[in-house]
Amino acid sequence: MTDVTTWLETAGALAGAGGLGYAKVRAPRVYWSLVGAPVTWGRFAFSYRSTMDVCGLTVQPSGLRAFVTRNVARREVQPVPPKIRRIRATSTGLRVTLRLPAGLEPADVMASSERLRHAWGVHSVTVVEIRPGFVELRMTGYDVLRRVKMPHKARPHDMAVPVALREDGTAFERDYRKAPMALTLGANHSGKSMYQRNLIKGLAQLPVALVGIDCKRGVEQSAFAPRLSALVTTPDEAAGLLDVLVAEMEDRFDLLSLHGASDIWELPQSARPVPVVVLVDEVAELFLISSRKDEERRERIVTALVRLAQMARAVGIYLEICAQRFGSELGKGATMLRAQLTGRVVHRVNDKQTAEMGLADVAPDAVPVASLIPMDRPGTAVAADSTGGWSKIRTPHTTRDEVVAVCREFAHLVPDLPALEPFRPFVPAEAPAPSPSLVKPRPVTD
């Protein structure tokens, strides 16, 4: 058995010494498919039992099984590892489904993931419980977050948008029906706008209304105007828009009670109002005030945001809030609002407290991971949800022009929402392509 593993590794090393060594660095996906996958598969298949044994992931067989092995098969009784139910190679690694024997729990396998990673020589091993008694080992053969390529099948659907890639090679989806309100934190240049850009690219293709609040005078969101139902760029305008959204929420609640429904998704499609996603680029701009006379506006904004965050899920109004920090220093209402934002994505932060603001209440284990995101990896973040689960993700690098093109292509999906009409951004007409000149050029020497 060991001979075959060694042979496979030697074959891999020989291939690596030639052109494939270059592929390992420049095109890790190609290298993985040609060399990494067969080598890892062989290593896994031939060392599975012994690796599980040394990692403490075996149990003593049941009395009957031990009896049969000893007396019928006449073999030595050995500890039993989890049964392999399925092995699948993907473009980024291997997926193995294991049935856990009585006496082992998913946490035992998770605790050994680092040892398994070294034993099989892969980049990472992530353990996911897929249903009671079954876990999936997701191995990646190389660092998939170095150059992010989203899986082909990842497409926006229902109210879910694949927005980034997880460390285990799967797509991270922002699902508004699972986590209706979300907070994205990160220092300057950590990749928050790139995250929102990817989100807008996906949302633009769905039948939803997009509302932008970008108090950086619209520098981030105004380019996406063709697909926006509303855009405001100053705190004063934001206060007006939020009042309109609260009124819209109340009207929608009246509609729900008329139909005896508790949620817009229970309404028949013909009566269902269109979902609205409100994207706030930098929430601190809405909280901060420069003079006493701004206090009343701030109070209005914060009250409206808190009311929307608390109740608007049922009527299909969702908040997507970005901030550099989001602590009590922003003033009254900040922590109350933060507590309502269940989905959390934390990019690189400047201090541990900011990571704690985003993650300590939903996934405390993830705080050290978020604090250690390197500066040269913009777009990398820790995404957590209220179930206590979290994963390391990175957004694909998407240019503004790509998103603008998608917004133009799907501009016809901007829904008819009369209440938002006064906030509809001005969309400059596309410059017509220069038509071919009918005048025949003449040489100047004539």
Ligand X SMILES: Nc1ncnc2c1ncn2[C@@H]1O[C@H](COP(=O)(O)OP(=O)(O)OP(=O)(O)O)[C@@H](O)[C@H]1O
Q: What residues form the annotated binding site for ATP?
A: 186-193
CB of 363 to ligand X, least distance (A): 21
Residues 353-382 that bind ligand X (CB under 6 A): 378-379
CB of 422 to ligand X, least distance (A): 28
Q: Rounded CA gap, 244 and 238, in Å? A: 10
Give me the half-sphere count of Cα atoms (radius 13 Å) on the Cβ side of residue 215: 19
Q: Rounded CA gap, 197 and 327, in Å? A: 25
User: How many other C-beta atoms can be found within 10 angstroms of the C-beta atom of residue 289?
Assistant: 15
| Pair 284, 324: CB distance under 8 Å | yes
The nearer residue to ligand X, 37 or 322, going by C-beta atoms, is 322
394 binding ligand X? (CB under 6 A): yes
184 binding ligand X? (CB under 6 A): no
The nearer residue to ligand X, 193 or 354, going by C-beta atoms, is 193
199 binding ligand X? (CB under 6 A): no
391 binding ligand X? (CB under 6 A): no
| Pair 151, 132: CB distance under 8 Å | no
Instruction: Give me the amino acid identity at 326.
Output: F
Q: Rounded CA gap, 248 and 227, in Å? A: 20
Residues 75-94 that bind ligand X (CB under 6 A): none
CB-neighbour burial class of residue 131 (10 A; exposed 0-12, middle 13-18, buried 19+) = exposed
Q: Pick the stretch among 15-23, 95-103, 250-258, 391-399 that binds ligand X (CB under 6 A).
A: 391-399
233 binding ligand X? (CB under 6 A): no
Instruction: Report the residue closest to ligand X, judged by CB.
Output: 379
Q: For residue 165, give the 3-state DSSP assignment.
A: strand
Which helix (H) or strand (E) segment is 8 a member of?
helix 2-17
The nearer residue to ligand X, 42 or 186, going by C-beta atoms, is 186
Instruction: Please identify which residue in 23, 100, 160, 194 interacts with ligand X, judged by CB under 6 A.
Output: 194
CB of 257 to ligand X, least distance (A): 40
189 binding ligand X? (CB under 6 A): yes
Q: Which DSSP symbol is given to 157?
A: B
State the residues that interact with ligand X by CB under 6 A: 186, 188-194, 378-379, 394-395, 397
